[in-house]
Amino acid sequence: MSSAAGKRTGSVTVIGIGNEYRSDDGIGLIIARRVKEHALPFVDVQEAGGEGSALVEMWRHREHVIIIDAISSGAKTGTLHKFHPYKHPLPVGLFHLSSHAFGLAEAIEMSRALNVLPEQMIVYGIEGECFEPGIGLSAAVNAAVDEIVEEVLISVRDSRSSVCKTECEDGGTF
């Protein structure tokens, strides 16, 4: 469903960010794939490597966006952090794991400056342990996958419900 202003309404965009060949850096992709397995018709699941300008294009014209990425803050491995970047900038330095100089935090701030940052954006940061080359998650991050998927699905439902109070024929039900 689209509005006259060109914004895509009635759907939720989920973006998993990461590199599955850098151990825990792949958690965003794994969570996005697990959400996609639910085959929810109003959820657009995308995967990204973390390059900032590509991210801006993924969420441009979207109203409800949920992003999942690995972070390194010093918290316990597997800890789930939740941010609302429309209200507050992302904490400096948490999302610096990208090999790109222009990553998630910079893309959000550029979107804010250009007035294209979705009002309903949630960023989930999962505390990683190992970001060295390799396939597979560390034990602590892997143990958190089911809980993180459930948390993301709750956010999808909440986003869908708020959109559908006025826009959706199905009332936002699954």
How would you classify residue 23: left for phi > 0, otherwise alpha for psi between -120 and 50, otherwise beta?
A: left
Q: How far is CA 124 from the centre of its chain?
A: 6
The tens digit of pLDDT for each residue in 115-136 reads 999 989 999 999 999 999 999 9
Confidence of residue 52 (pLDDT cuts 50, 70, 90): confident
Q: Are 48 and 107 in contact (CB under 8 A)?
A: no
Q: Are 144 and 126 in contact (CB under 8 A)?
A: yes
Within 10 Å of residue 145's Cβ, how many Cβ atoms? 16
Average pLDDT along the chain: 85
Is residue 102 predicted with pLDDT exceeding 70? yes
Among residues 119, 110, 60, 59, the alpha carbon closest in space to that of 85 is found at: 119
Is residue 31 predicted with pLDDT exceeding 90? yes
The C-alpha atoms of residue 44 and residue 21 are separated, in whole angstroms, by 24
Is residue 171 predicted with pLDDT exceeding 60? no
Confidence of residue 35 (pLDDT cuts 50, 70, 90): very high
CATH fold for the domain made of 12-162: Rossmann fold (3.40.50)
Rounded to two decimals, the pTM is 0.86
CA max distance for the chain: 47
Indicate the domain borders of the chain.
12-162
Partners of residue 78 on adjacent β-strands: none
Spatial CB neighbours of 70, under 8 Å, sequence gap ≥ 6: 17, 18, 24, 25, 26, 27, 28, 97, 125, 126, 127, 128, 131, 141
Among residues 10, 86, 95, 100, the alpha carbon closest in space to that of 53 is found at: 100
Among residues 10, 9, 11, the alpha carbon closest in space to that of 44 is found at: 11
